Chains A and B, each alone.
Chain A
Amino acid sequence: MMTDNWKYQKLITMSIGYILKRHFSPMYVIARLDRAIQRIVVRKIDEKSRLLLWITRSSRVMTSLSIFFIIMIPCLCSFSFSWEPYTPPAPIPNDRRTFPEPQSVKVNVWQNAYSRQMTQTTTRAFDFSRWVRAIGGNPRQALNVNAYDEVDSSSWFEHRNTAQPFSQEDIRRGPRTIDGPDTSGNWVIFKVKSEGMAPGFWIKDAQGNRFIIKPEIKGYPEVGTSAENITTLLFYAAGYHTPENYLSQVRLNRIKIKSGVKLIDERDVKRLMTQKDLEAIFDRVHVREDGTVRVTASRFIKGKPVGSFSFSGTRKDDPNDIVPHQHRRELRGLYVICSWLNHHDLNSGNFFESYITKNGQSYIGHYFLDFSSSLGASLFGAQPLVRGYVPLINPLYTFIVNPIKNWFHVPRWESNNPITYPAVGRFNNHIFKPDKFKINYPLAAFSLMTDRDAYWAAKLVMSFTDTQIQAVVKEGCYTDPKTDSILANILIERRDIIGRFWYNRVCPLERFRYDEKQSKLCFTDMGIKGNLYTKSESKYQYKTKHNGKEVAKSMTFSDNSCLDIPPPKPSKEDINEIEVVIQTARSKGNFSKPMNVFIQSDNSQAFRVVGITR
């Protein structure tokens, strides 16, 4: 993951800027290179070879210039020697527009895992532009952000709890549109997954709704099914698309087989399913004292399944899909959401695309599935120790780092990671570090996540109030009421850990309003809003520029969320701009990385905030 070490970046850019201004103006550099090469070459080549000398000298100069530009262009690009007014980034077009139905794409889970772990990781290691950007402290930022460093709603993401906080009823309902599968009638199995450790069925209830059901495994009640339900609701409220998941209880005698249903048996032979096969599967499920079995029923997603999406590149046959997925903020920021919920099982089988029709438009919707391995749970009890802390397979770590490191070092996940509570599984916050979370296989989008992306996602996490979290946890339907409070407390504490960590990596100020009459620029400090810090322990430092020229020196203030910014006098420029550079500090800590707020007027209109940069 790239991180913006802003102090380091500032030091480098200041040094380079000074050197560039003083000694390395392009003409001066060309002249110096030319003289240097001439001195070297003239010694070696006699007077008769003037033409050769000229050619050699020219080529050398051009080579030197090429190298110079290759090294300096990233720096030059981040520098502007003359002032230009702020221009907001180009908006990303609506990606929910009709296009012809695409072909379904099949992604092999294991091939995808290898590609992510080995092929893509190696390719990224050899990507020198990333190294250049990392050295320059200028990581590639997400492409689908607007002037306020936000993403617009799309087929990937919708602002939900951040736009309008959900009521308790709304957050508990989540994506659900019905009351769940109808348990008054029979469930008819029309497809079955009998192989593997966890059985699953495709059923149709008496109402004709279709679900994929996953029963609890014998000996592991509640852990996986509750986690799946809770994580689904939190993912949905955060803004991502999920299926409608329901917790349901059914008697086994209500489950019937549709004639002609086939299964693949232990011998890998496809044959008709019999009642005996069903009983064999039922032997592996957990039956409650009242004779029912609790299942997660996942309602079929509307539309036509068209495959799985990737976290890098774009889908070729989707003309709406124009932003490379690794540069989508909602996918980069998903890392923070996953770290909060300890959702590490991001294999390609859990990403789903459906060609849906909504509001008269037919397009591809992107969904996240299968959250049973989250919150410290799995279908088979508590998660193994390593989950969330170590990638599943990483040859570099397994065969080079670990043999050296694990000699007498015991990782925190091994030494201090007990099972929290039987129904919760292994879900702790005392060893949780927001930037050290690991998913099973690396994702390109996560590896490119910047502090700005993480801050954006941390805002999603921080948008959940204590009461919302407690309400969602109740949807886990734990038998032991103590489990609710334990899990809710862990989620709340992890939320705050995430907030403190990522909010400190940038200047966490939002919702800037400029009042020209009162000459005030007001903002919301997300740290204070999230109850992470108090007003008294927060202080701010700012300076202002008018059309690129500094007009007010650095000023520090605290206990206030408005700055005095008097509007400048009209200028000759087409656009009149005030740029406020602002930083935040907490208690005795250092000031954060600065952010810039741009207030513009075209001399005919009032001044207004047109954008921010971090």
Chain B
Amino acid sequence: MLKNLSQILPILTTFVLLFGQVSSFGNSESDSTTKNDTLAFPEKLPAKDTWEHIISAPGYALNFPFWVTHKLIEKSIYFVDEKKIVPKIRRILVSQDGTRVIMPTFIERVGAGVRVRKTEYLGNKSTILTGGNYGSDHRHGLHLHLLEVPLYQKLHLNFTSDYENLVEERYYGTGSQTKSADISNYRNAQIISKAELCFGLLKKLTLNLSGSYNYHNVTEGKNEVDDDDGPPTNIKYPFQTIGKGFEPHINIASLSVGATLNRLKPEGHPIKGTAADVSYALFQEMGHGNYGFSKTTLDLKQYFHLFYDRTVMFRLNSNVIRPLRNENIPFFYLSEIGETGTVRGYKRGRFRDRDRLMGTIEYRYPIWSPSWRVIEMVVFSDIGQVAHNIFTDLEAENFFFGYGFGLRMYTELGRVLNFEVGFSDERIRVYFALN
């Protein structure tokens, strides 16, 4: 039957083509005379000729799934707009005076969540941020930040407290020669509470003095990697030999002094200016005194506005960590390459050592600007190294190199969405962050 149909179909097609054409070309004049003469309304003209329909038939078939999808989206848009769902959600998320905002967030280490931001809470510039995140394997975090609480004239207070249960942290050993397969996991439940006094020395320069209390409970992890790393990994570092710091209930206090320079313009979406952060911090374990170290941090960012919303950013970052007396440094306090904001393209915690030196160059350009820059493309390259002592142990062949591209979306609040793909000689890693 089907075979017969396949034989008849071409014949029919030919006839339709031939006679369809003839009729459609031939009837125009005679039709028009009757249309003019009669009071009846004429028939609507076809948008396409018969041969056009036949030629387009395969295209219609190919387009059908897209068409259905588009129609569903159209219906959804209609529903959302007619039911005023967006304003309703907006009313829930943003207060009437605009000072309270509820935002969805996504942070790679702790998963998805919500954050509540309330401005003008304890003063004009003060902000209170609170929220929680939850992710796979019960990783979660809770945050409370009180920012820019005015105290006296140019003096203000920042108070932050973060609880995070990080269930799948990675340890690959110490130094820059570790192998990607030599991995073990650990779990770190931590509370970091910090109070910081800030004094506005100059318009853009702030001096900071802060004290913090850090609690860590480091235990065994799942000891498996459930991302795309492939087969089960070698456990080169059993938990017992991970290093100093693998123990429950570590209480550390710290005291820090520093200075912050912020000359970025505009602040939330800089295209030019300088941002610098220098700090020196002392960390000491409370009670036992096993751990004690100092940490010096330098972070310098320089933005250059090249031309027409094209911006290039250079970043230099360095950490120097030294033990105090004969005390130890917990391994999770060591400088890292692989965490977000370091050399992109490597796994989290891929390289650890006391010191770190790294640099970044980023080029940003707009790809969608309906009225102002909303979506930007970023192309970046990172280079960095961890070393026992960056002043004596830096070696050219030990530098790690990463590069990639990404998309960033901005609103009046600043950057709200970050999507980056980093490439390194070990792997490709995707970064995604929301709010």
Q: Which A residues are within 8 Å of any B CB, using their own CB?
A: 55, 58-59, 62-63, 65-66, 69-70, 73-74, 77, 87, 89-91, 93, 97, 99, 108-111, 114-115, 118-119, 122-123, 125-129, 132, 143, 266-268, 312-314, 319-324, 326-327, 384-386, 392-393, 398-399, 402-403, 406-408, 410, 414-415
With both chains docked as a complex, state the minimum distance between the C-beta of A90 and any C-beta of chain B, in angstroms: 3
The verdict on A319 contacting B14 (CB below 8 Å), with A122-B63, A402-B367 known, is no
Provide the residues of chain B in CB contact with A386, threshold 8 Å: 369-371
Contacting pair B47 A111 (CB below 8 A) = no
Contacts of A62 in B (CB 8 A): 7, 10-11, 14
A-B contact pairs, 23 of them (CB 8 A): A62-B7, A63-B10, A73-B21, A77-B21, A90-B28, A90-B31, A93-B42, A111-B74, A119-B67, A119-B70, A119-B74, A126-B63, A267-B91, A268-B84, A322-B44, A324-B46, A326-B47, A327-B45, A384-B370, A386-B371, A403-B377, A406-B367, A408-B365
CB neighbours (8 Å) of B55 from chain A are: 70, 128-129, 132
**Beyond A90-B28, A314-B44, 14 additional pairs, beta carbon < 8 A:** A59-B10, A62-B7, A114-B73, A119-B71, A129-B51, A143-B45, A320-B41, A327-B47, A386-B369, A402-B366, A406-B367, A410-B310, A414-B308, A414-B309
CA distance A132 to B52 in the complex (A): 9
Asked if residues A90 and B88 are in contact (CB atoms below 8 Å), the reply is: no
Q: What are the residues of chain B within 8 A of A63 when measuring CB–CB?
A: 10
B120 at the interface (CB under 8 A from A): no
Interface string of B43-62 (1 = CB under 8 A from A): 11111100111111011101
Residues of A contacting B21 with CB < 8 Å?
Answer: 73, 77
Cβ < 8 Å to A, chain B residues 50-104: 51-56, 58-60, 62-63, 66-67, 70-71, 73-75, 77-78, 81-82, 84, 87-88, 91, 96
Bound complex: CA A114 to CA B78 (Å): 10
Q: Chain A contacts of B7 at CB under 8 A?
A: 55, 58-59, 62
Give the residues in chain B near A59, CB-CB below 8 Å. 6-7, 10
Q: Which residue of A lies closest to B49 (CB)?
A: A129
Alpha-carbon distance A320/B74, docked complex (angstroms): 29
Q: When the two chains form their complex, are residues A69 and B87 in contact, meaning their CB atoms are under 8 A apart?
A: no
The answer to whether the Cβ of B35 comes within 8 Å of any Cβ in the partner chain is: yes
In angstroms, Cα B43 to Cα A326, docked, is: 17
Q: Give CA–CA (A327, B369) in the complex, Å.
A: 33
Q: Which residue of A lies closest to B27 (CB)?
A: A90
- Please state if A65 and B10 are interface contacts (CB–CB under 8 Å): yes
Q: Quote the shortest CB–CB distance from B406 to chain A (angstroms).
A: 10
Rounded to whole Å, the gap between the CB of B404 and the closest CB of chain A is 13
- Shortest C-beta distance, A269 to chain B (Å), equals 10
By a CB distance below 8 angstroms, the chain B residues around A402 are 366-368, 377
- Chain B residues with CB under 8 Å of A399's CB are 367, 407
**B372–A384 touching, CB < 8 Å:** yes
Please give, as numbers and ranges, the residues of chain B lying within 8 Å of A132 by CB-CB distance.
Answer: 55
Known: A62-B10, A66-B14, A69-B14. A268 touches B91 (CB 8 A): yes
Residues of B within 8 A of A312 (CB): 47
Name A109's closest neighbour in chain B (CB-CB): B81
How far is A410 from B32 in the complex, measured between Cα atoms in Å? 53
A415–B82 Cα distance when bound, in Å, is 40
Q: Closest 3 CB pairs between A and B?
A: A90-B32, A129-B52, A319-B41
Q: Does B17 contact A (CB under 8 A)?
A: yes
The interface residues of chain A lying within 8 Å CB-to-CB of B52 are 129
Q: Decide yes or no whether B307 CB sits under 8 A from chain A.
A: yes
CB–CB A73/B45 < 8 A? no
Task: Give chain A residues whose Cβ lies under 8 Å from the Cβ of B48.
Answer: 129
* B13, A66: Cβ atoms closer than 8 Å: yes
A-chain residues with CB within 8 Å of residue B43 when the two chains form the complex: 322
Chain B residues within an 8 Å CB radius of A87: 29
Query: Does B152 touch A at the CB level, under 8 Å?
Result: no
Question: B45: which A residues are within 8 A, CB to CB?
Answer: 143, 322-324, 327
Contacts A108-B78, A268-B84, A406-B377; A128 near B71 (Cβ below 8 A):
no
